[in-house]
A and B are shown apart, each in its own frame.
Chain A
Amino acid sequence: MIPVIQLSNISKTFGGVRALINIDFEVMPGEVHCLAGENGCGKSTLIKIISGVYTPDPGANFTLMGQEHKTLSPAQARRIGVGVIWQDHALFPEMSVAENIAIESFVGLKSKLVRHKNIKDVAQKVCERLGVSFDLDAQVKTLPIAQKQLIAICRVLVSDARIVFMDEPTASLTQSETKHLLDVVRTLTAENVAVVFVSHRLAEVLEIADRVTVLRDGKKVGVYDASEMTLAKLTEKMTGLTINPAVVGQNLTKNETVLEVKQISRTGEYKDISFSIARGEVVGITGLLGAGRTELALSLFGMTRPEQGQIYLDGKAVKFKSNLEAISSGVAYVSEDRLSLGLIQDQSIENNLISTVLDKTIVCGGLLSFKKKKAIVGHWIKELSVKLGSTSDAISTLSGGNQQKVAIAKWLATKPKLLILDAPTVGVDIGAREGIFKIVRDLASKGLSILLISDEVSEVYFNSNRVLHMSNGCIQKEYVPARCNISELEDAIYGKNI
């Protein structure tokens, strides 16, 4: 059999960062091939290269469907039969299901005119082929995420994809939805379509995959038959760690309470949330995407207001009208979305860092003092050991880990009582992640209270004194890592035996 895709010697450098180093990758027809690795290992970069979005560094070889290609544009990749289902689905929310599915059949092909009559037929055919059904006239934005996922799959099949890439397709799905998705994947492989499944949820990977390619820090660790792999082995390959890290043992709930939340609710976001965080305590919140974690954090940060319930900070009831009030009361929020909310990517490192504490650089006469600015920036760069060229460089020139350090530093500079870290390791490579968590533990030991939000169960498990499991906007249960096993928590979140 000829491989659908055969890549060799793929490297990609962004600025000074080597995202991929000499990767070889091969997928056979009808195979489910998993691309496994932690955040920032280069999985997404590899997909973007295969789909023509990125151009690899010189020296790369592509053989697609037995044909060699020098370069690849997205349109070319699509024509050859490479279909990608991006993490955000890239659907048109205002258009109907049928239009979204059929769009490929009338974009860029021979006919310059859209034949509305055909759209539904095309969509219907694909749905039948996959064994799924939709209301084809519904607007896509009204549908739940799992359905959008299926629509995205239908869309790539319209253009006769021979290989389908799915980037973290289960990140926001519940257990039964995941099951359904895996069934669809099996239908595809039965038709000899190859599926490349990108996920960091290992149980799933082992269940569905024929083979697994593991990436770590931009390098290929190896290709393995899924049947020969175990969870423990795969974890070891992905992280390169054999030792099991220790959990945070201390019980700090007897310390004075810094944050207390009593039965707060906000329609469509979260419901009846109560919990507290003591001084120096790290409380983790985990759960599927869309569980309401970030929405809850935004209310604690004053960006939105709970409709019911009460928030207490240091024992005093607070009602923040804006995040300015939350900040001045000592709440800091490191956003999950570093690219568009956490940092101002185009601006310099120093300007990002002092954006929260500009008042501290104002000297008499109301003018900004460059000297004070430099002192504050210098202090935090050193404190968190951020690696950089010059502080006047744009923050986008830094690696993910160093950007995150600046994002944390700009909030530490406000001397907060409560630090909310929302998905602090997204887009941070493994080596740097440990650095971030070291900072978290140091801060907690100095008495800072931290709310750690993450969908990586192991992150909250190994770094929190207590863990709250959130789903559908509610806190389901509290876990104490020192007194429970990580699999207990994972089972609660993903459901048993996927």
Chain B
Amino acid sequence: MTKTNRKKIKRYMEGEVAGLSIFLIVIVIAFSLASPKFLTGANLSSMAIQLPELGLLTLAMLIPILSGGLNLSITYTANMSGLALAWTLQAFGGPEAGVEAFILGCVLAFSVGALSGFVIGFVVAYTKAHPILVSLSMMILMRGIGEFMSHGKDITGFPQFVQNIGQGEIGGIPIPLLVFIACAIVWHIILSRTRQGFGTYMLGSNIMATAYSGISTKRNLIILYTLSGLMCSVAGIIMLSRFNSVRVGHGESFLLITVLACFLGAVNPFGGFGRVVPVVLALIILQVLTSGLNILGSNQHLSTALWGIFLIAVMVLRWAWWRFSIKIK
């Protein structure tokens, strides 16, 4: 192993990634000791199918948070994108629609997501309104349009190949999980290796100083919210294909969980710092907790409550660690 490689791995293992990995290993061991059903193929594959929905929405939330903002419209933007695809498929014959219709529908779905993000970014960049307010307005707008046009009903009846996307596997790995992995890699590259990503981190720490350095913060904001919107579209399409239906309110409860997942993944809630890898680890931890508690027979609502306790505990532990590290200095 070369010296730089060793250094790289060392840096990687430091801090958040190491902490989260250790915690993940501990809970996996704990659950597999507690129940023989935990480490079975069936459970693993059900986890692999459930993870991507929250995961994709969390990626959509991640970039705005890094810029010091938020995107509260992610779930409704995802469902509006899903609706755009659903209507296109229905217009072309519902279950009889062809691949061309699906592709057209996806283009429309992505347009909806991009437009939603673009508008948020544009308003945030030019009016300097707070992203919470702007994206909240977008959330209400998306929900209103969606409910108006779908009458709040489930839209269903899609071709078989669309369901295959949501429920199928390639090489034993569920397709939604593959999509999620691909998206996470793309996000990682954008954030660590592109001008856009660099600018996002910088403006998340101090937007004025970033502007003074000659980075176009307006452009960066518009692009980053558009990226967030596009990721919502991916989530919308995956949700449609997995449930074989679309409803405006799907995944509503995910919204705040995505913020917490980012936080658990050591993303600075005020912007400027955070990486994709720890966020993915955080998502896996949340999924393992849910599935594990489920197998142990706990009530679904109780496990939601346990997430809350867990996240509060993380906050307190981080604070304690921070105090401790100051002391030993």
Residues of A within 8 A of B (CB): 303, 322-324, 327, 333, 335, 340-347, 351, 355-356, 358-359, 362, 366-368, 410, 414
Q: Interface digits, B188-206 against A, CB 8 Å rule (1 contact, 0 not)?
A: 0100111100110110011
Contact A367 B206 (CB under 8 A): no
* Beta-carbon nearest neighbor of B215 in chain A: A355
Contact B209 A341 (CB under 8 A): yes
A323 to B214, CA, bound (A): 6
A303 to B229, CA, bound (A): 31
Tell me which of A341, A346, A368 contacts B194 (CB under 8 A). Answer: A368
B208 sits at the interface (CB 8 A): yes
- B326 to chain A minimum Cβ distance, whole angstroms, is 11
Which of A303, A342, A368 has the most chain B CB atoms inside 10 A of its CB? A368
A367 to B195, CA, bound (A): 8
Contact B213 A368 (CB under 8 A): no
* Beta-carbon nearest neighbor of B213 in chain A: A355
B211 sits at the interface (CB 8 A): yes
Q: Which residues of B contact A327 (CB under 8 A)?
A: 214
A347 to B210, CA, bound (A): 11
A345 to B210, CA, bound (A): 11
A358/B206 contact (C-beta < 8 A), A327-B214, A333-B212, A346-B272 known: no
B304 sits at the interface (CB 8 A): no
Contact A367 B272 (CB under 8 A): no
Q: Interface digits, B266-309 against A, CB 8 Å rule (1 contact, 0 not)?
A: 00000011000000000000000000000000000000000000
Contact B214 A324 (CB under 8 A): yes
* Beta-carbon nearest neighbor of A302 in chain B: B214
Contact A344 B202 (CB under 8 A): yes
Q: List 21 A-B contacts (CB under 8 A).
A: A323-B211, A323-B212, A323-B214, A327-B214, A335-B212, A340-B208, A344-B202, A344-B205, A344-B209, A346-B272, A346-B273, A355-B214, A355-B215, A356-B213, A358-B198, A358-B199, A358-B215, A362-B195, A367-B189, A368-B194, A368-B198
- B155 to chain A minimum Cβ distance, whole angstroms, is 39
* Beta-carbon nearest neighbor of B197 in chain A: A368
Contact A347 B195 (CB under 8 A): no
- A160 to chain B minimum Cβ distance, whole angstroms, is 38
Q: Which residues of A contact B273 (CB under 8 A)?
A: 346
Q: Which residues of B contact A356 (CB under 8 A)?
A: 213-214
Contact A367 B198 (CB under 8 A): no
Contact A347 B272 (CB under 8 A): yes
* Beta-carbon nearest neighbor of A322 in chain B: B216
Residues of B within 8 A of A (CB): 189, 192-195, 198-199, 201-202, 205-206, 208-216, 272-273
- A186 to chain B minimum Cβ distance, whole angstroms, is 41
Contact B193 A368 (CB under 8 A): yes
Contact B209 A342 (CB under 8 A): yes
- A337 to chain B minimum Cβ distance, whole angstroms, is 9
Q: Which residues of A contact B213 (CB under 8 A)?
A: 344, 355-356, 410
A347/B214 contact (C-beta < 8 A), A362-B195, A368-B193 known: no
A341 to B214, CA, bound (A): 12
Tell me which of B193, B201, B211, B216 contacts A347 (CB under 8 A). Answer: B201
**Which 3 residue pairs spanning A and B have beta carbons closest together?**
A355-B213, A327-B214, A367-B193
A410 to B214, CA, bound (A): 11
Contact A345 B194 (CB under 8 A): no
* Beta-carbon nearest neighbor of A346 in chain B: B205
A368 to B199, CA, bound (A): 12
A1 to B214, CA, bound (A): 59
Q: Which residues of A contact B216 (CB under 8 A)?
A: 322, 324
Q: Which residues of A contact B201 (CB under 8 A)?
A: 347, 351
A193 to B175, CA, bound (A): 78
A324 to B193, CA, bound (A): 22
Q: Which residues of A contact B205 (CB under 8 A)?
A: 344-347
- B97 to chain A minimum Cβ distance, whole angstroms, is 36
* Beta-carbon nearest neighbor of B268 in chain A: A346
Q: Which residues of B contact A347 (CB under 8 A)?
A: 201-202, 205-206, 272
A351/B208 contact (C-beta < 8 A), A367-B193, A410-B213 known: no
Contact B206 A340 (CB under 8 A): yes
Which of A333, A355, A414 has the most chain B CB atoms inside 10 A of its CB? A355
Q: Which residues of B contact A358 (CB under 8 A)?
A: 195, 198-199, 215
A344 to B189, CA, bound (A): 23
- A380 to chain B minimum Cβ distance, whole angstroms, is 14
Contact A341 B193 (CB under 8 A): no
A263 to B195, CA, bound (A): 38
- A408 to chain B minimum Cβ distance, whole angstroms, is 13
* Beta-carbon nearest neighbor of B329 in chain A: A15
Contact B212 A341 (CB under 8 A): yes
Contact A346 B195 (CB under 8 A): no
Q: Which residues of A contact B206 (CB under 8 A)?
A: 340, 344-347
Known: A340-B209, A351-B201, A355-B214. 11 other contacts (CB 8 A): A322-B216, A324-B216, A344-B210, A344-B272, A345-B205, A355-B198, A355-B215, A358-B215, A367-B189, A368-B194, A368-B195
